[in-house]
Amino acid sequence: DTGVSQDPRHKITKRGQNVTFRCDPISEHNRLYWYRQTLGQGPEFLTYFQNEAQLEKSRLLSDRFSAERPKGSFSTLEIQRTEQGDSAMYLCASSLGLAGGEETQYFGPGTRLLVL
Amino acid sequence: SQQGEEDPQALSIQEGENATMNCSYKTSINNLQWYRQNSGRGLVHLILIRSNEREKHSGRLRVTLDTSKKSSSLLITASRAADTASYFCAYSYGNNRLAFGKGNQVVVIP
**Residue-wise pLDDT tens digits, A102-111:** 788 999 999 9
Q: Do A107 and B51 touch (CB under 8 A)?
A: no
- pLDDT above 80 for B103: yes
CA distance, residue B101 to nearest chain A CA (Å): 6
Flag if B88 and A43 touch (Cβ within 8 Å): yes
Task: Tell me which residue in B30, B43, B44 faces A101 most closely, judged by beta carbons.
Answer: B30
Over residues B50-74, the mean pLDDT reads 95
Q: Give the strand pairing for B10-14 and B104-109.
A: parallel
Do A4 and A107 form a contact (C-beta atoms < 8 A)? yes
For the CA atoms of A110, A111, A112, A114, the dihedral, rounded to the nearest 10 degrees, stands at -160
Residues A33, B40: C-beta atoms closer than 8 Å:
no
Confidence (pLDDT) at B1: 37
Is residue B14 a contact partner of residue B106, using CB atoms and an 8 Å limit? no
Instruction: Grade residue B5 by pLDDT with cuts at 50, 70 and 90.
Output: low
Which position has the higher pLDDT, B29 or A101? B29
pLDDT of residue B92: 87
Q: What does pLDDT average to over chain B?
A: 90
Q: Where are the beta strands (DSSP E) in A14-74?
A: 19-24, 31-37, 44-50, 53-57, 65-68
In A, what residues contact B, Cβ < 8 A?
4, 31, 33, 35, 40-45, 48, 55-56, 89, 91, 93, 95, 97, 100-110, 112
Q: What is the pLDDT of residues B24-61, one digit of tens each?
A: 998 888 899 999 999 878 899 999 999 999 999 999 99
* Share of residues in chain B with pLDDT > 90 (%): 72
Q: Which residue has the higher pLDDT, A8 or B95?
A: A8
Range A79-89 average pLDDT: 97
With contacts defined as CB-CB under 8 Å, which chain A residues touch B49? none
Under 8 Å between Cβ of A82 and A90: no
Amino acid at A108: G
Residue A115 is predicted with a pLDDT of: 98
A97 φψ region: left (φ > 0), alpha (ψ -120 to 50), beta (else): left
- Class of residue A16 by CB neighbours under 10 A (exposed 0-12, middle 13-18, buried 19+): exposed
Cβ-defined contact of B33 to A105 (cutoff 8 Å): yes
Interface test with A, best of B46, B54, B98 (most A CBs within 10 A): B98
The more confidently predicted of residues B102 and A43 is A43
The pLDDT, as a whole number, for residue A94 is 95
